[in-house]
Copies of this chain bind each other. A is one copy, B any other.
């Protein structure tokens, strides 16, 4: 497909500066800026690239003032990044989606699959499971017994949803994600460990995205709950009985220990570890690789292992490099004080 600057400006309700007939057939990043593509400038840090880019069209914010001539056609919009997202959504919707139920898939006689969806080769849907309308269940997906899935949810290849779990509408579960594996619960018994049966489930509300190979354990009783709008990146571990509040986002490789409650609108950086049985208040921001072992008040910004306020962390980190010198300096001071005492 090819579009002109004029067509795109109409779609985005934007203003053209330059050649209205400029044509594009793809996207590129501003630092690559390939001919015949559309790019965008949202982050001022990248502004210098715009003066040399070969891209045919550049989306810019309305308030952008060039400091040098630009060869590309500019397309001004209120928010260049949001406009780009709209264009990407438009292109995505033009892509044809698979439909229908492949005869090689297994759907249990007692299961129900709503209209308008896709169930791919070798997919498995167990007894009494109910899948809503317009869902796309990819090849090799495994959906156990008594599972409920809402409408328009996407389950990619090699996802495992254990018996009795619930997934909302408009969710995306990426390849290899595991929902409802047993929580890690054992009772010590004569030097060995006896398994505590994990009889609860996992409940994932609407509009949740679960990254590739992320694992979410079922509760020992009741539910591990991922609330509406949560976004989990790849390779995250959510232990049993955890609750993640609405619209919280977690970067990859985060680990959340058992029974911990994470509030709404939190942002958790990559490789963070949260201890068990703690509360993370709403709106908390936790820096990458932090370790959290106690409750965090709403709205906090913390970092480090163990975590401390962000400012303290950065001040400590800088001083940390000076630690060996400080050690020597203390030693020197001690000797000088001793000397002074003698001389008095």
| Residues of chain B lying within 8 A (CB to CB) of residue A106 | 104, 121-122, 139
Complex interface residues of chain A between 65 and 109 (CB less than 8 A to chain B) = 81-82, 84-85, 88-89, 91-92, 104, 106
Specify which of B160, B184, B337 is in contact with A333 (CB 8 Å cutoff).
Answer: B337
* A288 adjacent to B273 (CB under 8 Å): yes
The number of times this chain is found in the oligomer is 3
Check if B156 sits within 8 Å of A157, measured CB to CB. no
A273/B249 contact (C-beta < 8 A), A174-B178, A213-B178 known: no
Candidates B82, B275, B289, B337; contact of A305 at CB < 8 Å: B289
C-alpha spacing A251/B265, complex, angstroms? 27
**Contacts of A92 on B, CB cut-off 8 Å?**
197, 199
A177 vs B282: C-alpha distance in the bound complex, in angstroms? 34
Q: B324 touching A326 by the CB < 8 A rule?
A: no
Residues of B within 8 A of A320 (CB): 304, 308, 316, 320, 323
Q: Known contacts A193-B249, A196-B88, A235-B215; is A316 also within 8 Å of B323 by CB?
A: yes
Interface assignment of A44: CB less than 8 Å from any CB of chain B = no
* A168 is an interface residue with CB less than 8 A from chain B: no
The distance in angstroms between the C-alpha atoms of A184 and B231, with both chains bound, is: 8
Residue of A175, A321, A337 contacting most chain B CB atoms (<10 Å):
A175
In residues 255-305 of chain A, which contact B (Cβ within 8 Å)? 255, 257, 265, 270-271, 273, 275, 288-289, 291, 293, 304-305
Bound together, the chains give a CA A306 to CA B317 distance in angstroms of: 7
Chain B residue nearest in CB terms to A170: B195
Residues from chain B with a CB closer than 8 A to the CB of A89 are 197
A201, CB-defined interface residue at 8 Å: no
Contacting residues, chain B, for A212 (C-beta < 8 A):
160, 178, 181, 215, 217
Which residues does chain B contribute within 8 Å of A317, judged by CB atoms?
306
Contacts of A305 in B (CB 8 A): 289, 305
Name the B residues within 8 Å of A104 (CB-CB). Answer: 106
Q: A210: shortest Cβ distance to chain B, in Å?
A: 10
Question: Quick check: B193 and A182 within 8 Å, CB to CB?
Answer: no
* A19 contacts chain B at the CB level, 8 A cutoff: no
Which residue in chain B gives the minimum CB-CB distance to A273?
B271
How far apart sit A85 and B46, CA to CA, in the bound complex (Å)? 48
Q: Is the CB of B221 within 8 A of A27?
A: yes
| Structural contact, A237 and B209, CB atoms closer than 8 A | no
Q: Is the CB of A124 within 8 A of B142?
A: no
Contact A175 B184 (CB under 8 A): no
In angstroms, how far is the closest chain B Cβ from the Cβ of A92?
Answer: 4
Contact B341 A344 (CB under 8 A): no
Task: Give the distance in Å from the alpha carbon of A186 to the alpha carbon of B122 in the complex.
Answer: 32
12 new A-B pairs (CB below 8 Å) besides A140-B142, A326-B327? A85-B194, A88-B221, A106-B121, A176-B213, A234-B237, A235-B237, A251-B257, A253-B255, A253-B273, A312-B321, A319-B324, A330-B333
